[in-house]
Each structure stands twice: as structure tokens, then as C-alpha cells.
DNA sequence: GGTTAACTTAACAATTTGGTAATCCCGGAT
DNA sequence: ATCCGGGATTACCAAATTGTTAAGTTAACC
């Protein structure tokens, strides 16, 4: 079975790591474990989990520190982060949430509740990316079937073209800076030349045959019907 | 000050309604209160709050029932819902979250923590809706779309012109010294001649067709509708 | 493996934008 | 009236940015 989502779980207590990790896997999640803060940070960058669970008291870096660091990176600005801890005082709780975490859960915690909360978080965050069908004017972009159609006439786009169009058409009118486009379509790892975007834009314009992508010189591109 | 967001808060205990409502307002939220489940549901439909807090044990309809009902409606499929309750058993907790709520908080709860959790939820859901729009008289400067419009007629400005106008119109009436303009629009690195500003101002005036940028001789420029 | 499509890059053309300088204007001061 | 210190205007050129095309590189699929 396809895993529902990839979860990184960081705790320095092996017992907890085992028990909760096991239960998460039983729930259908793919689990990556880390024993300390530094490792949690490094493994996150490598594996790009869909959700991150951080214990606070860990060697090398606390969960809060890791959370702050991750939130600096564009790739992790929206990743749901759960702080899991034995500390239950008000100050820690607030500090945890203010560091950009989405949930703060005090141990001991029933595994069922933990999983339920994780489901709730993923339900919300995956819903956002789940806008599977975009409709604007005569255009329909179906992200499930990978099809773009104009007045019921199907247009076939390549993968990158499709992703680029989906990004722009996903928020019509809004201008996307070139580096936003790069990081969203190509990711931050890959480095591609500047002309690459133009060329893809050109192909899209050509294939669509209509002028719905506007250039804002010196800034970026935007979709406009 | 414009309220940060509209929150509907439903609880049948007047004391709690008062205390938490007061604190939410102090935090800058607009608060709508309901005394029972039915009212919570009806008022939600009328006011379209950005976030809904529901007590479970309420007359007419429990918080869970309201949550389920709201989630049926397309308008409330994405609205963050917090279940607030005195029940702290595992089953209720899970049932609450499974009904589509985003958070389940057990009373008693520190007001600060409650607000911190609400902030965290709104932070996530409102992130995309931040609009950088300047409106003055008939003019609208939309920094997301990179558009300036006058009486619904769109005016197209180049990047520097747009930045310059945004700067001036951002604080109408305030005089910007030539130095200030230089450092804010051009940065401190770049060195450009003094006439450059004039020329850009001229282009803006020309394109807008109206005289909303005043010259203060020997000082600088200011925007005035 | 060979073929095809997709992706990226490079090179050049086309366009737009930004900056400068020369000149013109408009008060206020001489 | 004339001069003078800004600023306004204009035209022009350089720089920056994007469009276009073609050719090289990968990756995917028989």
C-alpha cells in the first residue's frame, strides 16, 4: 500500500521512538526517525517529510531550535510541525507554538489521540494542495488526470509545462517572481538557468494558443484570463 | 484597527463566554458569541467567521454535531474549528477530531495558551490571504498583482515607477526627501543622478494622468489625493 | 540498445526599462 | 528686466530583461 504521508519523528528516548514509530507505521505512514535535534534537521532536508514531530529535550538542538531553523527554509515554511514534550508549563507551550509549530502536545499522550491529531493536521494541510481541478474561463486544469482543456478541446502539456501552468493558474492574477517559480516548480536544490522558465512559458503560450500568461518585466509572470 | 479575524465562540456558560470573549477581543479579534449549538450554527451561516470555537456540551446541539453539520456546507469545509470541552477522555477527544475539527482543547485551559493555539491555526489558514493593497481615493495599488488602477481603469507602470509610486502612496501626505527615495527605491549601493527621480516622477504623472504627486521644492515629493 | 519526448542550455533578436544630459520653465531674488 | 536655483521635459542611449530558435542532454519507454 502506498504510504499516506511521510513523517519524521525525532526523540532521544529510544523506547518512545519505537512505540510511537510503530504505531504511526501501523496507521499507514512512512516513518523516518531521528535521535537528536541536529539529525532531525539534516534528515528533514534530505527526506522532505510531510509532517515533522519534534521532542523538545534533545541533545545538540532542542525541538524548538529545530522548528525555528526549519521555518527559515522556504521548503519547510508550510510543513506541519508538532512539538511533543514532557514539559507542560504555559511558557513552553506558548513558546513552542510561537516558534511556528502547529501543535504542541504534552506527554504522556495516548497514541490514539496523537495519531488522531496528526490526522487532523495532515487533513488540513493536504487539503490545500488538493485543489485537483482548476477552472478559469474556458480552461480546465485537471491535476488528477494531468489534462488541460480549452473549450472541451484537450491540450497536451509536458510535466514541467503542466506544473508551471498549474502554479500560475492556481492563483490567477497574482504575480509569481522568477525565484518563486523556480522554487515551487523546480525545488530549491536544482539550479537551472533563467532562460529555462521563459522557454517553458513560451511553450505553454504556444500550445494554448491564447495569451493568458502576462509578463511583468523585472518581476515575474502572472496568469490572467 | 482593522480586526485580525472574525471568531465565533459558542459556549453555554456565560462566564466562560465573557472571559474568553474578552481576551480574544483584547487580542484584536472580532468576536461573535453563541449560547447554544443551534445558535452557533445559524450565526456561522450569517457571519462567516474565519474561525469557530465550539463547546461540546451545549443545549439543542452539541459542538460535535455542529461541527459535523458545518463540514457538510461548502462554505465551511475549510474553516478552522476548535472543539473546547471539559470532557477529557480519549474517546471524546478522538471523536472531536474525527468530526472534522482542527483542534480539541480540554478545559480548564490557560487563556494565553488558547489564544496561542488559535493564532497558530489562523497563521496556517490565513497565510495565503495576506493582501498588500493600497487604496487611496480612486486609486488602487495591488502589490500582489502588480497593478495600479484608477476608477477601474488599469494603468501599466514599469517596475521602478511602480515601486516609487508604492513608496509615496504608502504614506499619503508624508514628504519623502530625495535621499529617502533613493535609498528606498534604488538601495544604498546603487548611485544614480538626481534628475533620475524627476524623470520617473514625470513618467508616473504622465501615465496616471492626474496630479497626485506634489513637488516640495528643495525638499522632495509627497503623494496627495 | 534505439527511439522519442522532455528538459535544459546557449546564442541571438526584440523589447522594455532605466539613466543621463541638454534644454526649457517657473518663481523668487537682485 | 535679468539672473539664478531648483525642477520639468524631452530625446537619446545603454543596460537589463525577455522572446525565440535551435541544438545539446537526459530520461523514459518500447
Identify the closest residue of chain B to A215 by CA–CA distance.
Answer: B146
Mean pLDDT, all residues of chain B:
90
Window 175-214 of chain B: CB closer than 7 A to strand D: 178, 194-195, 198-199, 201-202, 205
Interacting residues of A18 by C-beta distance below 8 A, sequence separation 6+ = none
B120: nearest CB among A102, A116, A218: A102
Residue that the C-alpha cell 450569517 belongs to: B46
Cβ atoms B21, B31 nearer than 8 A: yes
So what's the pLDDT on residue A65?
Answer: 92
- The CATH number assigned to the domain holding A11 equals 3.40.50.2300
Record the cell numbers describing residue A180, joined without a space: 518563486
Task: Please tell me whether any atom of strand C lies within 7 Å of the Cβ of A196.
Answer: yes
Which nucleotide is at minimal CA–C1' distance from A221?
A: D18
- Same domain (yes/no): A80, A39: yes
Distance of alpha carbon A31 from alpha carbon A26, whole angstroms: 10
- Same domain (yes/no): B144, B118: no
Identify the closest residue of chain A to B93 by CA–CA distance.
Answer: A113
Identify the closest residue of chain A to B113 by CA–CA distance.
Answer: A94
So what's the pLDDT on residue A131?
Answer: 64
- Same domain (yes/no): A147, A195: yes
**Which domain, by its residues, includes A117?**
6-128
Cβ atoms B134, B140 nearer than 8 A: yes
Closest CA to B6 of B49, B54, B63: B49
Q: Spell out, as residue ranges, where chain A has pLDDT lower than 50.
A: 1
So what's the pLDDT on residue A1?
Answer: 45
User: In DSSP terms, which residues pair with B9 in a beta bridge?
Assistant: B33, B53
Tell me, yes or no, if the pTM score tops 0.85.
no
How many CB pairs (< 8 A) connect A and B?
70
Task: Please tell me whether any atom of strand C lies within 7 Å of the Cβ of A199.
Answer: yes
- Same domain (yes/no): A137, A89: no
- Same domain (yes/no): B15, B121: yes
Count, residues in chain B: 225
- Name every residue in A having a CB less than 8 A away from some CB of B: 78, 80, 90, 93-94, 97-98, 100-104, 110, 112-113, 116-117, 119-121, 123-125, 127, 173-175, 216-219, 222
So what's the pLDDT on residue A161?
Answer: 95
**What's the whole-number mean pLDDT along residues B32-40?**
90
Distance of alpha carbon A23 from alpha carbon A18, whole angstroms: 9
Distance of alpha carbon B106 from alpha carbon B86, whole angstroms: 5
Interacting residues of A201 by C-beta distance below 8 A, sequence separation 6+ = A164, A213, A215, A221
So what's the pLDDT on residue A72?
Answer: 86
Contacts of residues B22-28 at CB distance under 8 Å and 24 or more positions apart, as own/partner, are: B23/B111, B23/B114, B23/B115, B24/B115, B24/B118, B27/B115, B27/B119, B28/B1, B28/B3, B28/B4
Closest CA to B206 of B157, B143, B138, B133: B157
Instruction: Give B112's contacts in chain A (Cβ within 8 Å).
Output: 90, 94
Protein CA at A163 to nucleotide C1' at D1, angstroms: 72
Q: Which helix (H) or strand (E) holds B203?
A: helix B195-208
- Same domain (yes/no): B66, B117: yes
Give a yes or no: residue B1 inside a domain: no
Query: Does the pLDDT at position B27 exceed 70?
Result: yes
SS3 of B94, please? Answer: helix
Task: Please tell me whether any atom of strand C lies within 7 Å of the Cβ of B183.
Answer: no
- Same domain (yes/no): A99, A139: no
Which sign, positive or negative, has the C-alpha torsion A170, A176, A180, A185? positive
Query: Does the pLDDT at position B221 exceed 90?
Result: yes
**Final residue in a domain of this structure, among B94, B129, B164:** B129
Record the cell numbers describing residue B111, joined without a space: 487563556
- Please tell me the total count of domains within chain B: 2
Task: Please tell me whether any atom of strand C lies within 7 Å of the Cβ of A159.
Answer: yes
Query: Does the pLDDT at position B219 exceed 60?
Result: yes
- Same domain (yes/no): B124, B147: no
- The CATH number assigned to the domain holding A217 equals 1.10.10.10
User: In DSSP terms, which residues pair with B54 in a beta bridge?
Assistant: B10, B83
Instruction: Give B116's contacts in chain A (Cβ within 8 Å).
Output: 93-94, 97-98
Closest CA to B39 of B69, B13, B70, B60: B60
So what's the pLDDT on residue B139?
Answer: 94
- Same domain (yes/no): A11, A122: yes
- Same domain (yes/no): A156, A65: no
Cβ atoms A174, B145 nearer than 8 A: yes
Amino acid at each position: 500500500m502506498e504510504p499516506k504521508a511521510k513523517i519524521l519523528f525525532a526523540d532521544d528516548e529510544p523506547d518512545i521512538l519505537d512505540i510511537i514509530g510503530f504505531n504511526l507505521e501501523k496507521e499507514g505512514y512512512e516513518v523516518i526517525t531521528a535521535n537528536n535535534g541536529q539529525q532531525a534537521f539534516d534528515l528533514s532536508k534530505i527526506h522532505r517529510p510531510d509532517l515533522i514531530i519534534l521532542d523538545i529535550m534533545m541533545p545538540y538542538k532542542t525541538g524548538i531550535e529545530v522548528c525555528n531553523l526549519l521555518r527559515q527554509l522556504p521548503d519547510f515554511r508550510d510543513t506541519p510541525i508538532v512539538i511533543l514534550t514532557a514539559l507542560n508549563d504555559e511558557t513552553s507551550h506558548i513558546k513552542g507554538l510561537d516558534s511556528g509549530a502547529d501543535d504542541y502536545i504534552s506527554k504522556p499522550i495516548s497514541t490514539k489521540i496523537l495519531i488522531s491529531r496528526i490526522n487532523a493536521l495532515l487533513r488540513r494541510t493536504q487539503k490545500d494542495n488538493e485543489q485537483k481541478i482548476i477552472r478559469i474561463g474556458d480552461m480546465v486544469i485537471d491535476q488528477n488526470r494531468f489534462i488541460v482543456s480549452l473549450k472541451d478541446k484537450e491540450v497536451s502539456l509536458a510535466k514541467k509545462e503542466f506544473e508551471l501552468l498549474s502554479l500560475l493558474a492556481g492563483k490567477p492574477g497574482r504575480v509569481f517572481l522568477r525565484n518563486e517559480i523556480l522554487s515551487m516548480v523546480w525545488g530549491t536544490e536544482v539550479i537551472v538557468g533563467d532562460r529555462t522558465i521563459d522557454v517553458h512559458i513560451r511553450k505553454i503560450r504556444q500550445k494554448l494558443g491564447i495569451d493568458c500568461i502576462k509578463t511583468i518585466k523585472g518581476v515575474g509572470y502572472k496568469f490572467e484570463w
